Structure 1
Amino acid sequence: MRSPSTSCSVFADGAMAAGRVSLACGVAAALLCSAVLAFVEDLDDTFKETRVDDIWLVTFYAPWCGYCKKLEPVWNDVGMELKSSGSPVHVGKMDATAYSGMASEFGVRGYPTIKLLKGDLAYNYKGPRTKDDIVEFANRVSGPAVRPLPSKQMFEHMMKRHDVLFLYVGGESPLKEKYNDVASELIVYTYFFSASEEVLPESVKLPELPTVVVFKDGAHFTYDEYEDGSLSSWVNKERFQGYLQIDGFTLYELGETGKLVAIAVIDEKDPTEESGRLKGLIQRVAKEYREHFNRDFQFGHMDGNDYINSLIMGEVTVPSVIILNTSNEQYFLPSEPIETMEQLVQFISSVLNGSAQANGGDGFIQRIKRVAFDARSTIMSVFRSSPLLGCFLFGLPLGVISLMCYGICTAESDDGSDDIDALKREGLTDEEEEDEEEEDEERQRAAELEGPEEEEERRRRRRKRRIW
């Protein structure tokens, strides 16, 4: 058994050791924090002159913006990832409220805004705000707009990495110049490559050279200027797989292609035979009817109906099929349940030829409904997340307005009663004044017929009645 002095000594040694560990952890945390901050630079108004020779990935933020605060740890991870991988991209952040003039020059309209600045060009990032997506965007846009594929091995490697791959095949030509211009414009969305015909597998047969080919969905499709229109429009429409899982962000991007979106609305958390059947029908149409519908339709499925319900301001059953026109907010629902492939093809064809019933739209009445729907949704979400906060935000103003209305109404009634009281003090009401005038006239006429004594008696009685 240790003596008290020995126990105190051991306790003191333990406390000192714990203190040293705590100090070491604090120093390590401070060093780590400073290292992270070193990967993301705070930018000021001198940035415009110093950035010219470098490639910068910058987020423009506002200190009070909740989305900006949510992005901050992700942005620190992006800075660390690009730095550790040896990327030439510098990562920075700028307080757009402190340097509003600079932010305005870069076309910042909201917070946070992410831009990759490369020479005189500024590329907007509109993808998901995750580390991997932002890093992939930075690596893609910071490189050459068109990347060469010098060998079959490199071609096969890129085919495994990318679900959609655009390739220019051939030598110098006006088509190549157009392709380079389109690549510079749309590199924010996808990769562009070039190669000679020898690089392609023997199974790939091209009708003519030079040409532009897209590889996706286990097949390849060539660009035809006469049938497909401009190269830019064709690339924009073909940059998605024929069938894909759709979420809110993907649906927003699909809107920029100009296509209608045919969606199987299913519940992946509780899959049913009906959900699997509708999903399979949409997939088959996307593949087997590509030549008929590819230019006008994008196909996919969406998990759950919450997002769709908010778009159409209604209720879509799960599972079901719906076609959205994101350009004018119209939507189409089948008149009867889809049971067969023929019914689904007929429904899509009816939308294409204009015979299907269109719902929704962006007319004046629909805009009013949208405002009311968004307001109701906001109020309901506030009450669901925090009932007390909802009562305070919406109950207090309503209570104040109610009190004001009550005060106005009661003030008017009080004024009327005051007028009546004043009249009573002066001689009661107007009717009573008229009655009293008539009595005076009668008394005067009677006085002319009677003697002075009777008249004097009446005056005494009248004075006595007024006193009482």
Structure 2
Amino acid sequence: MFSVVLFFLVAVSLDPAFGGSLELTDNDFATRVAEFDTMLIMFYAPWCGHCKKLKPEFEMAADLLRENDPPVELAKVDCTEGGKATCTEFGVSGYPTLKIFKNGKVSKEYSGPRDGPGIVKLMASQVGPSAKEITSVEAFEKFLAAEDNSVVGFFKAASPLKEAFLEAADNLREKFRFAITDLAELVKKHDTSDGIILFRPKHLQNIFEPNQHKYDGESSKSSLEAWLKKKQHGLVDHRTRDNADEFKNPVVVAYYKVDYAKNEKGTNYWRNRILKVSKNFADDFTFAVSSKDDFQHELNEFGYDYVPSEKPIVFARSKDNKKFAMKEEFSIENFESFLKKLKNNELEPYLKSEPIPEDNTKPVIVAVGKNFDDVVTNNNKDTLIEFYAPWCGHCKKLTPVWDELGEKLAGEDVAIVKMDATNNDVPAPFEVRGFPTIYWATKDGKASPVTYNGGRELNDFIKYIAKHATTELKSFDRSGNPKKKDEL
């Protein structure tokens, strides 16, 4: 009995049909990868926190994609044990690293979603023909039942439009689902024998905009692609972490409990009210709804640690990225009033800022959102500014050096400034993507601020400032060496 159970457990661990992704090593990597047309491989380290977070999503995707038509196989390689040589061969330098393989060879780096459904969606788009052939009404209905935009080409014969459609499908297969059909019943029903229709997913269909759009542009790939990108989000789309970058300013976003998986009716209850108003401002703004739980970081940018009400809260960004918040409780009337004022430039931008320090005369000047222009942009001094986060270890290590730098240059025509970039808005053209981020800005303002990427010791900063200062420093020469007394 024991031997039978043992045999079964071994069979389960070796047979991918029992669930999960494959585990590959240096010994079997080349032969196993060659067995599959398309694979997604995760190179990982067991101690890696990001890998641990990704693993359950990866395994979920592995099971779902194995049922895909055609199937996609997922596999893992432990770079610390049995897969060291393989990871070295493919240049793995961080964890997790994901790569797409086709026919045993690397096709490209995977840079898509890191959640199960997102992985499934992207990888499913990588296999099979870019445009699925529809041969029955049942297959057509099933194709339209997906939760994404569906683009269908109706063609009875070869044509320039059909050629453009297939080229666009190859290029945009990761963003849209494409299908092609010459079925007489479907061609007649949709009144087109040489045309293209974009169908909205059923959960986003509404009475305020068409549920399908027929292409009427040129028979060219570029024209069709531009049309699809313009139409893809409709009047008010569901903005997620995966597609957030596609919503360009000026944009208006309503945040609430958006959950189409568990509460489609409740989600659309509020979305329909947003649609009703936004249809009158479609030429002025891009509109979207987003889950407040998925975008807590954006709520924080507008000063919200949490949303106490079930009603949507509305934030907007202008074309030049200024921030605006609807302060009134959501209602159709308040939302319409907010949009009218926003359109007519009648609203004050929201500025995230700590209070201006009562005493800001220390050698290191403190910048906050409200005084940034005064102490940085218009201070008539060359400026070295550190953007930091209170919790950042590297920032804490830099603090005594920064304070000493301020003291050393206290009598110079140079400002040493620091700003907490987690509690204050960082204005353009400054960009902060990590901590600490340091910029050098010249007093005349003619040149754009430049990122400082030099050493972090006191002398490193002094040498840099001495070399780049608009006017030579009083206490240091251009090389950063202290001047002799007779030079002062």
Q: TM-score, normalised by structure 2?
A: 0.54
1:150-161 → structure 2 map (5 Å cutoff): 150-161=135-146
Give CA deviations for 1:214-256 in whole Å, capped at 9, x if unaligned: 3344411123548xx843344345445654555xxx1451213
Counterpart contact for 1:242–1:287, Cα < 8 Å = no
Residue by residue over 1:328-351, the C-alpha shift from the partner in whole angstroms, topping out at 9 and shown as x without a partner, is 76432136555434x424533554
Pairs aligned (count): 347
Match of 1:297, as an amino acid? T
d(CA) in 2 for partners of 1:334, 1:81: 41
The DSSP-based 3-state class of the residue aligned with 2:108 is strand
Corresponding residue number in structure 2 for 1:232: 225
Q: Shift in Å at residue 49 of structure 1? A: 12
Counterpart position of 1:306: 296
Name the structure 1 match of 2:173. Answer: 187
1:323 and 2:315 matched: yes
Q: Which residue of 2 aligns with 1:214?
A: 199
Which structure 2 residues correspond to residues 32-431 of structure 1 after superposition, within 5 A? 32-35=12-15, 40-42=22-24, 47=30, 51=34, 54-79=37-62, 82-83=65-66, 87-94=70-77, 98=84, 99=86, 102-104=89-91, 111-118=95-102, 121-122=107-108, 124=110, 126-130=112-116, 132-170=117-155, 171-196=157-182, 198-200=184-186, 204=190, 209-216=194-201, 217-218=204-205, 219-225=211-217, 230-240=223-233, 242-243=235-236, 246=239, 250-258=240-248, 261-266=251-256, 280=269, 282-286=271-275, 289-290=278-279, 292-293=281-282, 296-303=285-292, 306-312=296-302, 318-319=308-309, 320-325=312-317, 330-334=322-326, 336-341=328-333, 343-348=334-339, 350-351=341-342, 356-359=347-350, 372=388, 375-376=389-390
Higher helix share: 1
CA distance in 2, matches of 1:348, 1:324: 9
How far apart, CA to CA, are the structure 2 residues paired with 1:356 and 1:48? 64
Secondary structure in 1 matching 2:112: coil
Structure 2 SS opposite 1:167 = strand
Give the structure 2 partner of residue 10 of structure 1: none
Superposed CA RMSD: 5.2
Partner Cα separation in structure 2 for residue 292 and residue 201 of structure 1: 35
Question: Taking structure 1 as reference, are residues 55 and 309 closer, same or farther at Cα in structure 2, changes over 3 Å only?
Answer: same
Gaps (5+ residues) in structure 2?
206-210, 260-264, 353-366, 377-384, 405-488
Measure the CA separation in 2 of the matches of 1:278 and 1:333: 21
Query: Measured at CA, do residues 154 and 51 of structure 1 come closer, stay the same or move farther in structure 2, by a change above 3 Å?
Result: same
On the 8 A contact 1:324/1:331 being kept in 2, the answer is yes
Structure 1 residues 354, 213: CA separation in 2 closer, same or farther (over 3 Å shift)? farther
CA contact (8 A) 2:38 2:101 kept: yes
> Normalized against structure 1, the TM-score is what?
0.56
- Cα pair distance change 1:139/1:245, threshold 3 Å: closer
Amino acid at match of 2:245: G
Matched to 1:235, the amino acid is: L
Is the 1:60–1:96 Cα contact (8 Å) retained in structure 2?
yes
Distance 1:334 1:296 in 2: 15
Partner Cα distance (1:49, 1:317) in 2: 50
Q: Partner amino acid for 2:48?
A: C
CA distance in 2, matches of 1:165, 1:196: 16
Report if aligned partners of 1:262, 1:299 keep a CA contact under 8 Å in 2. yes
Identity of aligned residues (%): 19
Could you give the per-residue CA deviations for residues 16-48 of structure 1, whole angstroms, max 9, x where no partner exists?
A: xxxx87x87676555533445995142659759
Offset of 1:144 from its aligned partner? 1.0
Alpha-carbon distance change, 285 to 225 in structure 1, aligned in 2, over 3 angstroms: farther
